[in-house]
Structure 1
Amino acid sequence: MAIKSATPYLVFGGKAEEAIAFYGSALGAKVQTLQRFGDMQNDCPESMKNWVMHAVLQFDSGAVIMLSDGSPEDKPTPGSSTHVALDIDSGAQGRAAFEALAKGGAVIQPLIEAPWGALFGSLQDRFGIRWMFNSAKT
């Protein structure tokens, strides 16, 4: 299986802007990418239009972390706000890995065709680790 990257993905329940500023100040992280819900989903509620849908912060070393506000239903608690984001170059391999990790765990977001052109889904495995999958559609 060709996993291109495994990256920490942090969910802030509406406090992503604050976290971006904090990590920039404390760690020197620079915003590499920032997309808001209103930029990607025309039908999102007005209250979420400025929420961070996805951001990538890069450090001087080239290392990155990704983050989001999540959705209003996401109420991050200690241990539930960190995920491992996998980027897989094959849709078939992404589906197989998703199904394998879901056994004995819980699917949070079934695999869907995401607005950015990939398959996306998330789950919590049987050990309580949360995973996000991003893979090619084919």
Structure 2
Amino acid sequence: MKHQATPYLTFNGNAKEALDYYKQIFHGDVINLQTFGEAEFETPKEMDERVMHAQFKKDALFFMVSDSITDQSVKTGSHIALVIECDSADEIQTYYDRLKEDGNVLMELQDTFWGAIYAKVKDPYGITWDLNYTKE
């Protein structure tokens, strides 16, 4: 394989809201956003403003996002977790503080037996984020 797998997150009509949230958390950029209304194939009118495809990028963090075509067809939760390898103790603390504000802490930020600082937080959109900083 050329590079690691890219996570793809699918939402039930709130992908734009989720992308705005991730911009606040990670201070990254939404790139290549296209709505169903901009696509060159026919979809129901109520889909026009929903995200057909978008990409999110912040340094090495990269994932793709879309809305489901039908309401409530996506089951969010424990079926996906995204691991963020942080560069410093300050960075992991920053992301942890931002995520826990509106999220649900599954594992408090703490020193681990594997020589890292680690936390697990589920965000308001049902996505679980594993934050890891391997200490020197």
TM-score by length of 2: 0.51
List runs of 5+ in structure 1 lacking aligned partners.
84-138
Q: How many pairs align?
A: 82
Q: Aligned with 1:78: secondary structure?
A: coil
CA contact under 8 A between 1:13 and 1:70: conserved in structure 2? yes
How has the CA–CA distance of structure 1 residues 34 and 82 changed in structure 2, closer, same or farther, with 3 Å as cutoff?
farther
Structure with bigger RCO (C-alpha 8 Å, 6+ apart): 1
* Residue 77 (str. 1) matches residue 52 (str. 2): no
Distance 1:35 1:9, change over 3 A: same
Are 2:13 and 2:71, in contact at CA under 8 Å, matched by a contact in 1? no
TM-fit CA distance, 1:62: 3.2
RMSD: 2.5
3-state SS of 1:6 partner: coil
Match of 1:66 in 2: 64
Indicate the structure (1 or 2) with the bigger Cα radius of gyration.
Answer: 2
Task: Confirm whether residue 57 of structure 1 aligns to residue 56 of structure 2.
Answer: yes
Equivalent position of 1:46 in the other structure:
45
Distance 1:80 1:70 in 2: 18
Q: Which residue of 2 aligns with 1:11?
A: 10
Give the unaligned 5+ runs of structure 2: 82-136
